[in-house]
Amino acid sequence: MLNFTKPFYPLLLATAKSDPETAHRQMLKTLNNLEVNRHSVWGSLAIKQLEKSFCVQNSRLHQTLWGLDFNNPLGLAAGFDKDGTAAGMWSSFGFGFAELGAVTLLSQPGNPRPRMFRLPEDKAALNRMGANNLGAAVMADTLGQTWKRQPRQIPIGINLCKSKIAALDEAAVDYVGSFKYLQAVADYFVINVSSPNTPGLRSLQSGEQLEPILSGLQNANPQQKPILIKIAPDLEWNDIQDILKLATDYNLAGVIATNTTIRRDNLNTKILKETGKSIQDEAGGISGLPVKQRSTEVIRFIYQETGGKLPIIGVGGIFDADDAWAKIIAGASILQVYTGWVYEGPWMVNQILSGLLSKLDEKGLDRLADAVGLEHQ
């Protein structure tokens, strides 16, 4: 066992008994303190130990997408670091990239607590956070200060969401407002129209409502920063086809497949212990193992529909190298994790990347890029 992990055992035990959101906030606060003090003796030593413990360096895992260098395909998904408070730390945990947010133009508190729940019987999480964040202007300032202390070590994306108080017909202005604040402090951007926790948001996935958002963002994008769209796993195939057509028409850089699901099929969890209510009656999106198969199906469909020409970031139910490999050969160029990382711990990144290198050896492939969409060949 890694020596570095020993001090974490009490924290992990305490976390298991505490409110997940409280534990989450405490972790981000600790990482922010470490990042702010990265140039101190203790901060420098701690970060070096993190990198020694969790990072995997191998050129076979490297890919270039949208002119950005990804040293490995495993990224941190949006939702974990909503305000970018630990943005400078994620490379030290071995991630090849990280996506911050979701962020809205206006600061908002999100939905009432409790709003984050673990479903250990399903290796899943239920969240109805409601895009709680400090707003785009605050994130821009936070990231500006972070990059002054240490330039970005990995590509950083920002997930943009609509402010709750913004009317649906004002959505385009809202997204563009956030983008203007943040375009200088990140490498790519994601249009989030698929969270189930902002009222009416998923309706923006329809072509009629999505088009003004895409148009507005690209018109405000003279630097041609990559803009992707994140879609729900619950869409019908024809709806995904419509989104892919708009993605082509508006020169989107790629698709993230997928967000959380609102389905409750085949869950082992029947009653949410924190509320005493049936899981069927609880609002929110479910992530983790229950979404694994569907997200892979959506990745496969997108790759087939686009002939592999539109890069896909695969996310949903990744816990080990087999899960990651399945999404890559289905068509995902790079991947994101969240729930799996919470359950498996920070060692997971190293284990998955090492496992992917073994997969390349087994298949006689030189580079991970050669495995993208392999099952379609």
Say yes or no to pLDDT of 207 above 70.
yes
Q: b/e string for 169-180 if b means 16 or more Cβ within 10 A?
A: eebbebbbbbbe
Q: Which range is least confidently modeled, 52-61, 197-206, 323-332, 365-374?
A: 197-206
Q: Which range is least confidently modeled, 187-196, 200-209, 251-260, 272-281?
A: 200-209
Q: Which residues contact 18 (CB under 8 A, 6 or more apart)?
A: none
Q: Which range is least confidently modeled, 10-14, 197-201, 238-242, 368-372?
A: 10-14
Confidence of residue 16 (pLDDT cuts 50, 70, 90): low
Say yes or no to pLDDT of 8 above 70.
no
Q: For position 231, what pLDDT does the model report? A: 95
Domains located in the chain, CATH noted = 3-376 (3.20.20.70)
Say yes or no to pLDDT of 132 above 50.
yes
User: Is 278 labeled as catalytic in the residue annotation?
Assistant: no
Q: For position 203, what pLDDT does the model report? A: 87
Average pLDDT of the chain to the nearest whole number: 94
Q: Which residue has the tokens 């497949």?
A: 257
Catalytic hit among 195, 287, 295, 333: 195
Instruction: Express as a percent the part of the chain with pLDDT over 70.
Output: 95
